[in-house]
Amino acid sequence: MASATTLSNWDAALKQYYRNKAVDDLVYKSHPLMELLPKDTKFRGRNMPIPIIYGRGQGVSSTFSTAQTNASASKIDDFLLTRVSKYGVATISGEAVAASEGDRYAFLSASTTEIDNIIKSVGDSIAKGLYGDGSGAIGQIASTTTIGSTSCDLEDPSTVFNFEVGMKLDLAASKTGGSVRSNQTTITAVDRSKFKPGDTDQLTASANWNANSGATGDYLYQEGDYDAVITGLDAWLPSSSPSSAAFFGVDRSVDPTRLGGQRYDGSSDTIIEALIEGMAITAREGGHPDHIFLSFAEFVKLEKALGAQVKREVKRSDSLSGYDSLDLIGPSGKAKVIPDKDCADGVAYILEIGTWTLASIGEVVQLTQLDGNRVLRQASDDGIEVRVHSYSQLGCSAPGWNCRVTLPS
């Protein structure tokens, strides 16, 4: 095993190589929503309050005495954000360590692929979660699956892109609020060509799906993620009016739009009509939506529908994602329509981006330093490890200035 001096030299090499900019390049590339969200890297303490005004004072009347009698304070509450954790661990074998003894460049050559990949994996997981509902579910076993086999049909075939060969999965009958089944399943094959409606056999597992009492309809989670991931747009802007259940400490049912966002069902419209209507109801509430995020498939539909009306901008000069966008004009002005691979089909999110915050302790994703060291000896194996972490949460100061749109099929 490498000496303490060698580990110190390698640690210095990693600190130099993985400066914040280098980590950001790995984290935000191909994730435009995650990149464009405003960041707050000073999420200290147990929670972060985000004040929300959902009702103005009512001391207004054409009669002074009535205005004076009815004077009241504005309705103000606080979303009390709590952080969630995400971890990644990259391991470098003892053989690779020995082969690069005393040579920091050889060490970087041997280790950066593994470290880059774990940084990307943590970033990918958070980016997917930004569109999710906080449950952690990344897919669901379809009713067409033969549960006594290793093959799995996904209820939504487009979720196949959430899975990786070697990924360990938890299964649960309840999407949230319950518990996972007793054993895990490991993915041995993923067929990403089968992402269209009606496609089957997307996943292959290491054992029959019913080996741990799995059943059709079960939700799938990366191991350890059940009810433990970032609370994304699907929770902040739910598809139906929110219930009275506390959401970061707030009962959103008292004003479902100002506290739970706008909703528009455009399933009977054209895609252009659906997006314009969503922009209109958001503007009516006082919002100025400037970004619209949707899936690649929906972006293509919009582009085809616009035809010669397309005004395209490829934003590359100051963007790590190098995202492609279209401009769409609504009642409150222009919004950039951006395709994002992390967004599900069938939905668009119309956002006033300045009302959102991706809050974290330090950078959203960063290499862990324990006692100032980024390179650690493995306690029970022949090698070393480099750890990555994120302590973060998504927040919104004005949900009513944002809209979720159901798109036509």
User: Do both 198 and 145 map to the same domain?
Assistant: yes
Question: pLDDT value at position 17?
Answer: 66
> In which band, very low, low, confident or very high, does the pLDDT at 104 lie, cut at 50, 70 and 90?
low
CA–CA separation, 249 vs 33, rounded Å? 26
Q: What is the mean pLDDT of residues 90-106?
A: 69
Long-range pairs for 301-307: beta carbons < 8 A, 24 or more residues apart = 301/271, 301/407, 302/271, 302/272, 302/275, 302/326, 302/337, 305/270, 305/271, 305/272, 306/272
Question: pLDDT value at position 255?
Answer: 95
User: Do both 155 and 296 map to the same domain?
Assistant: no
E-only strand ranges, 154-271: 168-172, 185-190, 203-205, 219-222, 246-247, 250-251, 262-265
Question: pLDDT value at position 35?
Answer: 94
User: Do both 202 and 238 map to the same domain?
Assistant: no
User: Do both 68 and 181 map to the same domain?
Assistant: no
Residue 409, judged by CB atoms within 10 A of its CB (0-12, 13-18, 19+), counts as exposed
Cβ neighbours of residue 328 closer than 8 Å, sequence gap 6 or more: 272, 275, 276, 279, 292, 334, 335, 336, 337
Count of domains observed in the chain: 2
Q: What is the mean pLDDT of residues 71-77?
A: 81
Question: pLDDT value at position 228?
Answer: 96
User: Do both 154 and 223 map to the same domain?
Assistant: yes
DSSP code at position 370: B
CB atoms within 10 A of CB 100: 20
User: Do both 286 and 354 map to the same domain?
Assistant: yes
User: Do both 8 and 63 map to the same domain?
Assistant: yes
User: Do both 260 and 392 map to the same domain?
Assistant: yes
What mean pLDDT, rounded, does the chain reach?
88
> Does the pLDDT at position 105 exceed 70?
no
Q: How many residues does the chain have?
A: 409
The tens digit of pLDDT for each residue in 301-325 reads 998 998 866 655 545 434 555 567 8
Question: pLDDT value at position 72?
Answer: 76
The CATH number that applies at residue 192 is 2.40.10
> In which band, very low, low, confident or very high, does the pLDDT at 250 lie, cut at 50, 70 and 90?
very high
Whether the CA torsion 188, 189, 195, 198 is positive or negative: it is negative
Element (H, E) at 192: none
φ, ψ of residue 358 to 5 degrees: the values are -100, 100
The tens digit of pLDDT for each residue in 140-191 reads 999 999 999 999 999 999 999 999 999 999 999 999 999 999 889 999 999 9
Q: Where are the alpha helices (DSSP H) in 143-270?
A: 233-236
On whether the CB atoms of residues 261 and 400 are closer than 8 A, the answer is yes
Question: pLDDT value at position 373?
Answer: 73
Q: Where are the alpha helices (DSSP H) in 101-243?
A: 104-129, 233-236
The tens digit of pLDDT for each residue in 41-67 reads 999 999 999 999 887 778 888 888 888
> Does the pLDDT at position 69 exceed 80?
yes
The model's pTM: 0.88
User: Do both 235 and 220 map to the same domain?
Assistant: no
CB atoms within 10 A of CB 89: 15
> Which residues constitute the domain of residue 200?
135-228
Question: pLDDT value at position 186?
Answer: 96
| Range from 59-73, 96-110, 188-202, 279-293 carrying the lowest mean pLDDT | 96-110
Q: What is the mean pLDDT of residues 385-389?
A: 90
**3-class SS of residue 262:** strand
The CATH number that applies at residue 86 is 3.90.1690
For residue 349, CA distances in Å to 93, 212, 275, 353, 405 come to 44, 37, 9, 11, 6
Domain boundary among 182, 212, 228: 228
3-state helix, strand, coil in the chain (%, to 5): 30, 30, 45
User: Do both 18 and 36 map to the same domain?
Assistant: yes
The tens digit of pLDDT for each residue in 373-382 reads 777 777 777 7
User: Do both 235 and 224 map to the same domain?
Assistant: no
CB atoms within 10 A of CB 143: 11
Question: pLDDT value at position 296?
Answer: 93
Domain boundary among 228, 256, 284: 228
> In which band, very low, low, confident or very high, does the pLDDT at 110 lie, cut at 50, 70 and 90?
low
Domain boundary among 228, 250, 275: 228
User: Do both 186 and 266 map to the same domain?
Assistant: no
